[in-house]
Chains A and B, each alone.
Chain A
């Protein structure tokens, strides 16, 4: 089975984000592999252990520095990787087209996995676009999957404790959520070994015609400032609860 796992290199959620040139961020902060993509790799490793002879290929569309997240994917168990190199930010339409071309050039995928969203842009759509490009079925928010006879039984999270069940044939695209597994972080030998694994670099221009431009462009970014009042409720405990009750009733009007 040929399993592709799409990963994205994103700013650490704890990083301080500074806006520069009106619509960009200062990229001199810690970047790492998108957290949900780690769940996708772990799922791929589990499937590889179940189905002998499977291969896991990590693939990322990103700037040269995205190779760091590709290394993480290799250390977590991907066998080799493809890096589609870009110099500018591209939207999810172009990303999906580039992923589609690169994966198709590499061979026929049986399964394409990725995280259900990236924590930087939270676009939540690349997986659907990739699936449409391949004309593959897709399920997102996947927290449980079971593969039998080239058919995957999937459970997806909806709201309020509701779940949906889908039966989906290979080849397909699955976007996974945190609830699927607990990623095992690589050991030092795995990290060292990963450095010997092959990363193929492809320029995005060789995959997507240059004439195609992003259809979703961030034209302005502004930092969100916090204006919290930080008022301490004082007095004895009864008085504090009384004030809390008053806030809920009169200010928030929720009770």
Chain B
């Protein structure tokens, strides 16, 4: 049976959300799944992973286990782990951090890597992903001594498939170059959900008119645990920071519901959100491009609709 390694990210004692959906999307009867967790040991992780069909969990201790996340160190430790397990295929979730670790691993091994995969064929070494600004679906054939994949977040919902699992332990010590110092991370205060992981996104475009009006979207978002996005126009006008931009050159999102408010829906914006399950447009202009490219639309002023929706969400939950 083919052995496949899954790189699992943990944070504050939890397995990263999205990991179980990723495992659900790759598991099949002809592969044996090994999880790799670096410098974070807990039997709770193994118990959770076995519910989703992971048979072995390798707890890796690197540089005495004291080290915090460091992409160089993590990529070296992962390579040593693959060698130790004699596994040639590695999969992770395409999160910002994991994609750096995966790319560092692929670069060191001169191995093929495909990120943001929709589907993978672990036996034939093929991956499907979206290419050309969201306009085509491409199948990529990987050749080499290793195969590395990053699955796109939110592809499918997690489904349990319990099995018996076992913890394995591996210690490694890696030497780091002195020309790179990872100083750690900092969290800017945000009160909304991460755009790339949000199940619901409410976005504003030119029709928002100014910075203050985004508070209307934020209030509504809060009532349904949604995240707030924006079009490039709203960002370029200085109403909201770049981190909120959804689109080809912004964040690419994959929510269950995308609500576009006062947003015309340029091709570039569409490229960043077209994989949303349901697209809802609220726009005064029945001729806006988004109207012909959505599932449901309301032709009304967003400043009337959104507060009403907020009220409704408040009263019915």
> Contact residues of A with B, CB < 8 Å?
11, 13-14, 16-17, 19, 23, 25, 35-36, 91, 93, 96, 119-125, 127-129, 131-132, 135-138, 140-141, 143, 157-169, 172, 178-179, 213, 215-224, 226, 228-233, 237-238, 240-245, 247-249, 251-255
CB nearest neighbor in B for A125: B103
A160-B194, A218-B138, A255-B224 in contact; A241/B308 too (CB < 8 A)? yes
A162-B188, A216-B114, A252-B277 in contact; A230/B294 too (CB < 8 A)? yes
A168-B179, A245-B313 in contact; A140/B141 too (CB < 8 A)? no
> Which chain A positions have C-beta within 8 A of B293?
226, 228, 230
> Which chain A positions have C-beta within 8 A of B243?
157, 161, 179
Q: Within the assembled complex, what's the spacing in Å between the Cα atoms of A113 and B28?
A: 41
Contact A129 B107 (CB under 8 A): yes
CB nearest neighbor in A for B189: A161
Query: Which of B193, B295, B305 contacts A231, CB < 8 Å?
Result: B295
Query: Which of B136, B184, B299, B304 contacts A17, CB < 8 Å?
Result: B136
A128-B106, A165-B184, A241-B305 in contact; A25/B132 too (CB < 8 A)? yes
CB nearest neighbor in A for B193: A160
A93-B110, A161-B188 in contact; A218/B131 too (CB < 8 A)? yes
B171 interface hit (Cβ, 8 Å): no
Contact B140 A218 (CB under 8 A): yes
> Which chain B positions have C-beta within 8 A of A230?
291-295, 297
B257 interface hit (Cβ, 8 Å): yes
> Which chain B positions have C-beta within 8 A of A238?
308
Q: Which of B73-130 contact A (CB under 8 A)?
A: 95-97, 99-100, 103-104, 106-108, 110-116, 126, 129-130
CB nearest neighbor in A for B312: A245
Rank and list the top 8 A-B pairs by shortest CB-CB distance, nearest first. A160-B194, A137-B180, A132-B107, A161-B190, A169-B179, A128-B103, A165-B183, A220-B139
Contact A166 B257 (CB under 8 A): no
> Which chain A positions have C-beta within 8 A of B250?
178
CB nearest neighbor in B for A154: B183
Contact B183 A166 (CB under 8 A): yes
Contact B279 A228 (CB under 8 A): yes
For chain B, the bracket of interface size reads: 35 or more
Q: Which of B184, B194, B295 has the most CB of A within 10 A?
A: B295
> Which chain A positions have C-beta within 8 A of B110?
93, 129
Q: Which of B178, B257, B316 has the most CB of A within 10 A?
A: B257
Contact A178 B132 (CB under 8 A): no
A132-B108, A230-B292, A230-B295 in contact; A241/B136 too (CB < 8 A)? no
> Which chain A positions have C-beta within 8 A of B317?
255
**How near does chain B come to A149, taking the closest CB pair, in angstroms?**
13
Further contacts, 19 of them, CB under 8 A, given A241-B298, A254-B257: A122-B130, A122-B131, A129-B103, A143-B242, A161-B243, A164-B182, A164-B183, A164-B186, A215-B144, A216-B114, A219-B139, A219-B140, A219-B141, A232-B299, A237-B308, A244-B305, A245-B312, A245-B316, A255-B224
CB nearest neighbor in A for B271: A13
A93-B110, A219-B140 in contact; A228/B308 too (CB < 8 A)? no
CB<8 Å pairs between A and B, sample of 5:
A165-B186, A220-B138, A231-B297, A237-B305, A255-B224
Contact B97 A241 (CB under 8 A): no
Contact B268 A137 (CB under 8 A): no
Q: Within the assembled complex, what's the spacing in Å between the Cα atoms of A219 and B249?
A: 26
Contact A141 B131 (CB under 8 A): no
Contact B106 A252 (CB under 8 A): no
Contact B188 A91 (CB under 8 A): no
> Which chain A positions have C-beta within 8 A of B308?
237-238, 241
**How near does chain A come to B253, taking the closest CB pair, in angstroms?**
12
Contact A159 B107 (CB under 8 A): no
Q: Which of B72, B266, B299, B312 has the most CB of A within 10 A?
A: B312
Q: Within the assembled complex, what's the spacing in Å between the Cα atoms of A127 and B99?
A: 12
Q: Which of B285-317 contact A (CB under 8 A)?
A: 291-300, 304-305, 308-309, 312-313, 316-317
Q: Within the assembled complex, what's the spacing in Å between the Cα atoms of A146 and B178?
A: 19
Contact A119 B248 (CB under 8 A): yes
**How near does chain A come to B245, taking the closest CB pair, in angstroms?**
8
B44 interface hit (Cβ, 8 Å): no
Q: Within the assembled complex, what's the spacing in Å between the Cα atoms of A228 and B281?
A: 12
> Which chain B positions have C-beta within 8 A of A161?
187-190, 243
B12 interface hit (Cβ, 8 Å): no
B15 interface hit (Cβ, 8 Å): no
Q: Within the assembled complex, what's the spacing in Å between the Cα atoms of A73 and B299?
A: 43
Contact B131 A169 (CB under 8 A): no
Flag B236-256 by CB within 8 Å of A: 1 or 0 each: 000000110100111000001
